[in-house]
Amino acid sequence: MRFNPKARLDTRRVRDTGGSRGRASAGASRRAAGGATRTGLSPGMIGGGGIGTLLVVGLVFVLVQILGGGGGAGSALDGALDTSRVAGTDRYASCATGEDANTSVDCARVAVENSLTDFWTDELGSRFRAEEALVTFTSSVDTGCGGASSAVGPFYCPADETIYLDTDFFDEVLERRLGGPDGGFVEPYVLAHEYGHHVQNVLGTMGRVRTQQGPTSDAVRLELQADCYAGMWAAAATATDDESGEALISELTEQDVAQALAAAQAVGDDRIQERTQGQVTEETWTHGSAASRMRWFTTGFEQGSLEACDTFAASSL
């Protein structure tokens, strides 16, 4: 993936909070691990009722299956929200152009966010809204859905319409613990998946989730649709522009697409269960099989429409 050196980057919707403001409680971790409504890249939960229901959705259920729950790493979610989440660092202050994105992972993250925002603004028109899109953090962070630690992994909080990302996730969890790929397009795939959850929030799709576990559950359909939306963006990424109309991304290769598919495969429920518990239990799935995740990303990439990504209408996943 190459960015256009002439493109201008917009950092207004990307922020870094720096280090921890204090660990979330172990009790909150147990609530997240034991709840019946998981669906995220973390302990993703869907439901109504504000902070108490801890509404977060993500890429894979990390907390219990990978990190084991309980103890230090398991302190993933806390219902408390404090003013520390308004604090920020200057992590993205030097990100000004596409050339910066070609030489800095941080600036590439900004460029991908800009591309996703431009794509979905065009795709959804007046239905689209973009507030603060992306917050990076270290160790823990306070969100509109409550407190979260790095054990959660990348996730989207519908309450404040923001994606949260501890960037160590890619090396520590996805690559080392799950055996996922190490490549430049892996993070853009994850960000595009999380942005897909924002699209679902905007369109009201999250309200359709009733069943939380199983290979054809609503939770799985929600996650596969986010993968499909990620594929839609990837197919059109080189056609996205900055605010002046300059192309943001100059090249996206077959190798980039292969990295996205490899990442989708690594976070399939069956792959994670095989790696962490030595057996596959389909009735507990919340995200879909490796094959399904790859299939729906490919559907979005090849067909490129909201209609093609309607996993809730699909008879086969």
How does pLDDT run across 201-256, given as a tens digit for each residue?
A: 999 999 999 999 999 999 999 999 999 999 999 999 999 999 999 999 999 999 99
Q: Answer yes or no: are the C-beta atoms of 114 and 44 closer than 8 Å.
A: no
* Neighbour count for residue 261 (Cβ, 10 Å): 21
pLDDT value at residue 58: 66
Please, which pLDDT band fits residue 87 given cuts at 50, 70 and 90?
Answer: low
- How is residue 201 written in tokens? 């929030």
pLDDT (average), residues 93-120? 98
Q: How far is the C-alpha of 313 from the C-alpha of 279, rounded, in Å?
A: 30
pLDDT band at 283 (very low <50, low <70, confident <90, very high): very high
Q: Which residues of 199-224 are buried (b: 16+ CB within 10 A; e: fewer)?
A: bbbbeebbeebeebbeebbbbbbbbb
Structure-token match 């103890």, residue found: 71
The answer to whether residue 79 scores a pLDDT higher than 70 is no
Distances (CA, A) of 230 to 111, 136, 295: 15, 20, 12
Helices (H), 146-217: 169, 186-203
Amino acid at 279: Q
What global pTM score does this model have? Answer: 0.84
pLDDT, position 300: 98
CA dihedral 64, 70, 74, 77 (to 10 degrees): 100
Q: What is the mean pLDDT of the chain?
A: 82
Pair 10, 109: CB distance under 8 Å: no
Residue 86 pLDDT: 43
Greater pLDDT, 44 or 87: 87
Integer Cα distance of 230 and 29 in angstroms: 29
Other Cβ atoms within 10 Å of 49 Cβ, number: 8
CA of 217: how far to CAs of 58, 120, 154, 275, 305, in Å? 16, 26, 22, 22, 22
**68-88: b or e for each residue (b if 16 or more CB lie within 10 Å)?**
ebeeebbbbbbbebeeebeee
Determine the pLDDT at residue 243.
Answer: 97
Residue 130: pLDDT band (50, 70, 90) is: confident
Distance CA 96, CA 158 (A): 29
pLDDT at 59: 64
Q: What pLDDT is stored for residue 60 in this prediction?
A: 57
Is the pLDDT reported for residue 76 higher than 60? no
The edge-to-edge listing of strands for the beta sheet with 146-149 is: 77-78, 146-149, 140-143
Q: Are 49 and 68 in contact (CB under 8 A)?
A: no
| Gap between the Cα atoms of 46 and 32, Å rounded | 12
What is the spatial distance between Cα 102 and Cα 1, in angstroms, rounded to a whole number?
A: 9
Work out the average pLDDT over 13-34. Answer: 50
- Residues 197, 224 contacting (CB under 8 angstroms): no
What pLDDT band is residue 169 in, cutting at 50, 70 and 90?
Answer: confident
Burial class (CB in 10 A: 0-12, 13-18, 19+), 190: buried
